[in-house]
Amino acid sequence: MARKLFSLVRERLASATPIHTLGAVDPAQMTQQAPHQEVLYVSGWACSSLLTSTNEVSPDFGDYPYNTVPNQVERLHKAQSMHDRKQWFLRSRMSAEERARTPYTDYFRPIVADGDTGHGGLTAVMKLAKLFAEKGAAAVHFEDQMHGGKKCGHLAGKVLVPTGEHVNRLKAARFQWDVMGTENLVIARTDSESGRLLSSSIDVRDHEFILGVSDAGVESLAEVLAAMEREGRSGKEIDEFEAAWVEGTRLVTFDEAVVEHFAKYGGDVEGYTAKVAEDRDMGITARRKLAAGLLGEGKPAVYWDWDVPRTREGFYHFRAGMEAATKRAIAFGPYADLLWVETGDPSVAVAAELAKAVREAFPKGDKGLVYNLSPSFNWMAHGFTPDTLKSFIWDIAKEGFVLQLVSLAGLHSNATITSELARKFKTDGMAAYVEVVQKREKELGVDVLTHQKWSGADYVDAILGSIQSGSSGSKSMGEGNTEAQFD
Ligand SMILES: C[C@](O)(C(=O)O)[C@H](CC(=O)O)C(=O)O
Ligand SMILES: [Mg+2]
């Protein structure tokens, strides 16, 4: 499955055309998508809210057991196999002419699955990668959020891990698959376009984006909050203070603090900005030294502190945006087959700019991009015309977005048709069922219309028939099967 996906990705990258798919939540959706979509997406969000391995359902915080998404992959992969066998059996019973005119469905569509943060430390990433490969996933995406601080990419409050920590996760997954001799694709996702918190300041590659205060009069937020708690102030008061603090305190990067300081006290702004642009990975200590050198003798040192605004959990504030996200995508590039930048709204221009930067960093053109055509966006806003909405997928495919997915399509389509049916059924009874479901199944040629056949009843009857002859009376699709009514 991984090889099949790899070849498909190569082919589409070469022709700048998309592999576009929908997230499926169950075997029924898998079978309906198989004739039309070339890959199958399994969403962590959907698993979290619909089916976890503890049956507990809740928002997409990645807090479900790590076998949750692999289990869903296994369920869908087993269903792919069952429907493939059923199809083989049904086709074997056809005449050559009938077979030739009956469309063949490739049920074995490679599965792209959600590995979230990797669900823990590096050994957890390896175990998760192992499970995904064993269960039938072709590709898995890992995002640079902190396990325990993770949220759906389109929620607030996301906590990122240092760049290097995520690189290690990508390496861990590849290491695991190399040990197993499998060729699964690694998809590196970054949530840094909107993730405003960072778990640690240890990686110099993140320093240019970490925010601090440049006003020496501001007290440590965490210390003030702890003092309020000790004084017995109410939770509401503490929350309100914190919200007002975050709202009212100006947070800047070290470079911004330097520029302001130089403007006030005189200093070589251009010299400083040129040097840090040349070496974006310069660590904070080196930046301080550089600033001090360019400021000159006898002037007050630049005041800037990234510890003062740290959250109660100890997280640093991070300047989220496409600049950080592009840098991270490029940093993850050598360790991934495909790159995914999670964005806050759909824009061809933003996508094109990212693609250009990735192409420049990887000129062989072998780093395909993934795009989340998320239902978390309001596709009715954002100024699309019917034409630009229709061409969106193909427009960004031209830029290199080779794999595109409507992450939660299965969830939403399921809810929509059920809502329509439930409302009408309440008043119109069976007329509603026929109108909303049965007639449309027939018109569209949905094979679930005859659900016994769809489920493989003929196929299993044939298996039983080869174990024991002369038992036509106990055949499930024999006389008495109501599906004959559809003939
Ligand atoms: C793609 C995603 O990771 C998922 O789990 O489906 C989610 C869902 C979404 O909002 O589209 C995410 O983007 O974090
Ligand atoms: Mg997810």
pLDDT tens per residue, range 455-468: 999 999 999 998 98
The pLDDT assigned to 108 comes to 98
The pLDDT assigned to 265 comes to 95
Three-point CA angle 369, 412, 350, nearest 5°: 30
Work out the angle between the directed axes of helices 122-135 and 163-180 (0-180°, nearest 10).
40
The rounded radius of gyration (Å) of the Cα atoms in the chain is 27
Residue 115 Cβ < 6 Å to ligand 1: no
In the structure, ligand 2 is a single-atom ion and the residues with CB under 5 Å from it are 44-45, 114
Task: Using pLDDT thresholds of 50, 70 and 90, give the confidence band for residue 61.
Answer: very high
pLDDT tens per residue, range 251-309: 999 999 999 999 999 999 999 999 999 999 999 999 999 999 999 888 999 999 999 99
The dihedral built from the CA positions of residue 143, 146, 148 and 153, taken in this order, carries a sign that is negative
Ligand 1 atom closest to the Cα of residue 47 is 5
Q: Do the annotations mark residue 234 as ligand-binding?
A: no
Ligand 1 atom closest to the Cα of residue 191 is 14
Round to whole Å and give the CA distance between 358 and 369: 9
Closest residue by CA, ligand 1 atom 6? 43
Ligand 1 atom closest to the Cα of residue 374 is 11
3-state DSSP call for residue 197?
strand
Structure tokens at 351: 């996508």
Q: Do the annotations mark residue 95 as ligand-binding?
A: no
- Candidate from 58, 140, 152 with most ligand 1 atoms within 8 A of CB, to mutate: 152
Mean pLDDT over 156-180 rounds to 97
The pLDDT assigned to 484 comes to 82
Annotated catalytic residue 47 = no
Residue 44 Cβ < 6 Å to ligand 1: yes
Q: Do the annotations mark residue 7 as ligand-binding?
A: no
Task: Using pLDDT thresholds of 50, 70 and 90, give the confidence band for residue 480.
Answer: confident
The pLDDT assigned to 470 comes to 79
Which ligand is nearest the CA of 117, by number? 2
pLDDT tens per residue, range 203-233: 999 999 999 999 999 999 999 999 999 999 9
Q: How far is the CA of 404 from the centre of ligand 2 (A)?
A: 14
> Which of 249, 141, 146 lies closest to 206, judged by CA?
146
Closest residue by CA, ligand 1 atom 1? 407
> Which of 300, 284, 137, 134 lies closest to 211, judged by CA?
284
Q: Do the annotations mark residue 189 as ligand-binding?
A: yes
**pTM for the predicted model, two decimal places:** 0.96
**Is the predicted pLDDT of residue 444 greater than 80, yes or no?**
yes
Mean pLDDT over 46-59 rounds to 97
The ipTM of this complex is: 0.99
Ligand 1 atom closest to the Cα of residue 189 is 3
